[in-house]
Structure 1
Amino acid sequence: MKKRIAIIGSGFSGLSAAAYAAAEGHTVHVFEKNAGPGGRARQFQTENGYTFDMGPSWYWMPDIINNFFQDFGKQATDYLELISLDPQFEMVFSRDNVAIPRDYAQMKALFEQIEPGAGLRLDEFMEAAKYKYEVGMRDFVNKPCYSWFEFMSPKIAGSALRLDLLSGFRKYVKKYFTNPKLVSLMEFPVIFLGASPRNIPAMYSLMNYGGYALGTWYPKGGFYELVKAMKSVAEEQGAVFHFNQPVEAINCADGSVQTLLIKGEEHAFDVIIASSDYHHTETLLAPSLRNYDEKYWAGRTFAPSCLIYYLGFNERIPNLKHHTLFFENDLDAHIDSIYVDKSWPEKPLFYACCPSQTDDRVAPEGHENIFLLMPLAMGVTDDEPTRERYLLEMIARLEKHTGTINLLEKIDFKKSYCVSDFMQDYNAYGGNAYGLANTLSQTAVWKPSIKNKKLKNLFYTGQLTVPGPGVPPSIISGKIVASEVNKLNTHTYEKAV
């Protein structure tokens, strides 16, 4: 039975859900509080010629992203010009730097040079990571996770030991590598999952395969090109988008959602899919109709927030790669500031993205576009003087690495973004940037449910539910929810938007 479906939010999970639901013939309307699609993956342009992606910048797991387009008879390359980055990224240490080459044979030789025997151990690590990737990203993550019985297939059950669900990632990495630089290189990808490598299951070595082995890519024009491409696919299926349309209330009766209140007007739908922040969505319901109370959310382990600076420089900056990770300081000390002290870090690590090294569209000729990101605890006070203090430190380290001076004087565009902005723009719980951390106790069935337990027609998708944070998992999340909605039997309202 065809349904009238409302999707709240147009981040990657909302775009995905819209495309899959519309492809089934349902009437799909997407309501977005901001002026354009993308959620955290929005983009903005400046009057003096810069184009900044506001969020994701690592195009990893290209096969998983391409699966979305293939489901609609397309290829990602029908919409995107993808560039394979070489080197994939550079990691800056207190002594020496390490750049990860695109070619695997060169990567293996690099590991061997840093630590004798590490080349062969990289083969062993990647072989195991490939297995986890193939099982994890094709079988494990495509479940609605109502029950552990969903994972009782012979393939998944037979893979349990090889998936290393109960092993810690750091201990697992140190079985293969002892050199601190190599350990940092292998631990870095799981930082995207929002917790210390000490607390992430070793199963997530699949991230190393999905990144290092499959390559680090860049869609020319910026990551926002993926947002535009997915929106085009959804519209081709019949989905309709409504921007500057914040949902103010979810009105319910008789065990189901009846209407959404949008700018003072009620609109009736058969099914609601909330791609908006899970906690925020539940605040739009009466307390008795929520899946989780405030105590539950306070007890979750969230991925970090972050301080971001979008910077334009009036000259090119030498010796800078597209992706650079500044790891001169201790990773654990920075992580403890996020999860233990919940304070601004004393000796931070940070990440610099310079897309103008690859793409001449994102900055005026002869200029540089740089995005600086420093992971940060949720809920900290992020006044402008504090933001500026950390900018000065990051700029000083950027100058040291690139051999330049007076970079502050060369800035011709500057915009900061931090905890309070995530709260304001995305209703993000505590100002988190990446959803729930993928710790073992917050995996699969132990994540917030994709279905409201008291309302038969309200579903949730995105980084706070299954399968978890990141662009490919969010795309998969939208597909899972659309499939679940398709199983519902419910009547169709006649009222028009």
Structure 2
Amino acid sequence: MNERIAVIGSGFSGLTAAAYLAKSGREVHLFEKNAEVGGRARQFKTDSGFVFDMGPSWYWMGDILDRMFADFGYKREDFYELINLNPQFEMVFSDRKIDVPQDMDGLRVLFEELEPGSGIQLERFMQSAKYKYEVGMQDFVLKPCHNWMEFMSLKIAKSAVRLDLLSNFRDYVGRYFKSPYLRALMEFPVIFLGASPKQIPAMYSLMNYGGYALGTHYPMGGFYSVVRALKQIAEEQGVVFHVGSPVKEIAVEDAGQLALQVQDEKRQFDKVVCSSDYHHTETLLPPALRNYSEEYWESRTFAPSSLIFYLGISERIPNLKHHTLFFEHDLDEHIEDIYGTKKWPENPLFYVCCPSKTDDSVAPPDKENIFILMPLAIDIDDDDAVREEYLQKMLKRLSQHTGVQDLYEKIEYKRSFCVRDFKADYNAYGGNAYGLANTLKQTAVWKPKLRNKHIENLYYTGHLTVPGPGVPPAIISGKIVAHEIIKSKETRA
């Protein structure tokens, strides 16, 4: 009789784990509390024709997705068209604007313009980053991280120094570049990892290679095209989806079986994989069966939450790129507001995505689709009046950048999403948006474990465990946990 496995949560890690487990011959049921799959990568449409991706918008490290599609006999082209953005994005400083070119040749020219001699430094930086990417994404991140012995291979031992595990990212970038513009450009990608560049290991320069060297892309139809692809693959393997089905309790029954209380029904499974928020999932268990205490979670450094606005604009906006980063103010000041004082930032940095610059399907004709995101401390009060205040601040800066006056008056559709929504929709601890920060003390073996130490058939996956936050790591996490389950069955057999 085939093993019956439940997967809780349909984010990227849950969809991936479910697909691989079903491919191996298991009977897999996926339970999602919301009305549609995708987790933080959901999408919604308005009656007037706007289509908004709710979460991820940066398509980086596409080779991770390509390898996953290949595992199921597909190519990415079977599901969606991928556009290589040029420029990759624009950075707006207080005294200048920088378009980041599509390719390395263009990047070298840009770097030389901003700092003579830095073109050669860029080549050296990227050579090292490429090595970290190849070792990191093919060796390090594929480890389940049960213990440090997994890393005791000759290849990894030889790589240790070149991976710069003990250097911080800010100092590492400073060895190559002096220009404040170039340093901001190189530091920007690690913001996705949820901490200051001073706290992130230099190993994560691999993200510079995965982004700038491999390119920034956009999947036509929006990022939800990736979710649809994974859902289709999972369904073809036999995964049964249960949407609008929140799990209320996880119980251990006789003979070690696990029972999920799904609304008013109790359902039994041989194994359970939790792609839902790790902390929330543990509250579904009796305290004695949890991996971690409340004190443990309180001691962790979480990646930020975010204030997000989804805006439908009644006309086209000139002088705006697909991705724009507003860096007019000091990065460290904003980071201090997130992690130190934990207050609403006085001079926020923020990000604007305008996918309608690339994709006509996400907005009605002659209108614009705008996504605005501002990183924010977790567990902060976010009443509607404060959200509105910050929207006005950000739109003022967007107006100055584009030359379009009265942008607020041109809003045809508006929806906000912030701390309390992350808690309500995703049960996110503190309303975090990205999981745990990838600081050195929260990397690899020091991350929350993939397996429950009290219940051998209960597993965890997603951005709160290995390898960490982001779409490619979440996909890798789902694959790792599926492999662990498949391997455990083969070992016992």
Task: Give the C-alpha shift of residue 78 in structure 1.
Answer: 1.0
Task: Give the C-alpha shift of residue 252 in structure 1.
Answer: 1.1
The residue identity in structure 2 corresponding to 1:71 is D
The residue identity in structure 2 corresponding to 1:438 is N
Gaps (5+ residues) in structure 2? none
**1:307 and 1:417 in contact (8 A); partners too:** yes
The residue aligned with 1:130 is 130
The residue aligned with 1:140 is 140
Whole-Å separation in 1 of the counterparts to 2:457 and 2:366 = 53
Q: Does residue 205 of structure 1 match 2:205? A: yes
1:334-373 alignment, distance < 5 Å: 334-373=334-373
The residue aligned with 1:173 is 173
The residue identity in structure 2 corresponding to 1:263 is Q
The residue aligned with 1:312 is 312
The residue aligned with 2:406 is 406
**2:103 and 2:212 in contact (8 A); partners too:** no
Q: Does residue 477 of structure 1 match 2:477? A: yes
**1:250 and 1:260 in contact (8 A); partners too:** yes
Figure out how many residues of one structure are paired with residues of the other and give that number: 490
The residue aligned with 1:5 is 5
The residue identity in structure 1 corresponding to 2:183 is V
1:9-88 alignment, distance < 5 Å: 9-88=9-88
**1:307 and 1:416 in contact (8 A); partners too:** yes
Local SS of the residue matching 1:141: helix
Whole-Å separation in 1 of the counterparts to 2:224 and 2:95 = 35
Whole-Å separation in 2 of the counterparts to 1:257 and 1:279 = 22
Local SS of the residue matching 2:162: helix
**Deviation string, structure 1 residues 404-439 (Cα, Å, up to 9, x no partner):** 101111100000000000000000000000000000
The residue aligned with 2:463 is 463
Whole-Å separation in 1 of the counterparts to 2:78 and 2:369 = 27
1:130-279 alignment, distance < 5 Å: 130-253=130-253, 256-279=256-279
The residue identity in structure 1 corresponding to 2:356 is S
Task: Give the C-alpha shift of residue 331 in structure 1.
Answer: 0.1
The residue aligned with 2:452 is 452
Local SS of the residue matching 1:261: strand
Whole-Å separation in 2 of the counterparts to 1:28 and 1:386 = 43
The residue aligned with 1:435 is 435
Whole-Å separation in 2 of the counterparts to 1:136 and 1:489 = 28
**Closer, same or farther in 2 for the Cα pair 1:265/1:108, shift >3 Å?**
same
Local SS of the residue matching 1:468: coil
Local SS of the residue matching 2:362: coil
Whole-Å separation in 1 of the counterparts to 2:431 and 2:102 = 35
Task: Give the C-alpha shift of residue 2 in structure 1.
Answer: 3.4
The residue identity in structure 2 corresponding to 1:343 is K
Local SS of the residue matching 1:162: coil
The residue aligned with 2:298 is 298
**Deviation string, structure 1 residues 205-235 (Cα, Å, up to 9, x no partner):** 0000000000000000000000000010111
Task: Give the C-alpha shift of residue 487 in structure 1.
Answer: 2.6
The residue identity in structure 2 corresponding to 1:403 is G
**1:257 and 1:458 in contact (8 A); partners too:** no
Whole-Å separation in 1 of the counterparts to 2:204 and 2:257 = 37
**2:342 and 2:380 in contact (8 A); partners too:** yes
Gaps (5+ residues) in structure 1? 491-497
The residue aligned with 2:382 is 382
**1:7 and 1:272 in contact (8 A); partners too:** yes
Task: Give the C-alpha shift of residue 486 in structure 1.
Answer: 1.1
Whole-Å separation in 1 of the counterparts to 2:2 and 2:452 = 21
Local SS of the residue matching 2:397: helix
**1:82 and 1:217 in contact (8 A); partners too:** yes
The residue identity in structure 2 corresponding to 1:345 is P
Task: Give the C-alpha shift of residue 321 in structure 1.
Answer: 0.3
Task: Give the C-alpha shift of residue 257 in structure 1.
Answer: 4.7
Local SS of the residue matching 1:120: helix
The residue identity in structure 2 corresponding to 1:139 is D
Whole-Å separation in 1 of the counterparts to 2:236 and 2:165 = 40
**2:313 and 2:412 in contact (8 A); partners too:** yes
Local SS of the residue matching 2:44: strand
**Deviation string, structure 1 residues 223-254 (Cα, Å, up to 9, x no partner):** 00000000101111111111000000001146
**2:258 and 2:272 in contact (8 A); partners too:** no
**Deviation string, structure 1 residues 7-35 (Cα, Å, up to 9, x no partner):** 00000000000110001000000000001
**1:255 and 1:454 in contact (8 A); partners too:** no
**Closer, same or farther in 2 for the Cα pair 1:258/1:95, shift >3 Å?**
same
Local SS of the residue matching 1:28: strand
- The two structures have a TM-score, normalised by structure 2, of 0.98
Task: Give the C-alpha shift of residue 352 in structure 1.
Answer: 0.1
Whole-Å separation in 2 of the counterparts to 1:31 and 1:443 = 29
**1:11 and 1:41 in contact (8 A); partners too:** yes
- The two structures have a TM-score, normalised by structure 1, of 0.98
**Deviation string, structure 1 residues 328-362 (Cα, Å, up to 9, x no partner):** 00000000000001110010000000000000000
**Deviation string, structure 1 residues 89-136 (Cα, Å, up to 9, x no partner):** 000000011110102101101000100001000000000000000000
Whole-Å separation in 1 of the counterparts to 2:156 and 2:91 = 35
Local SS of the residue matching 1:398: helix
Aligned identity (percent) is 65
**Deviation string, structure 1 residues 254-283 (Cα, Å, up to 9, x no partner):** 684521000111100000000000000000
The residue aligned with 1:494 is none
**Closer, same or farther in 2 for the Cα pair 1:255/1:147, shift >3 Å?**
farther
**1:255 and 1:456 in contact (8 A); partners too:** no
Whole-Å separation in 2 of the counterparts to 1:121 and 1:263 = 58
Whole-Å separation in 1 of the counterparts to 2:320 and 2:441 = 39
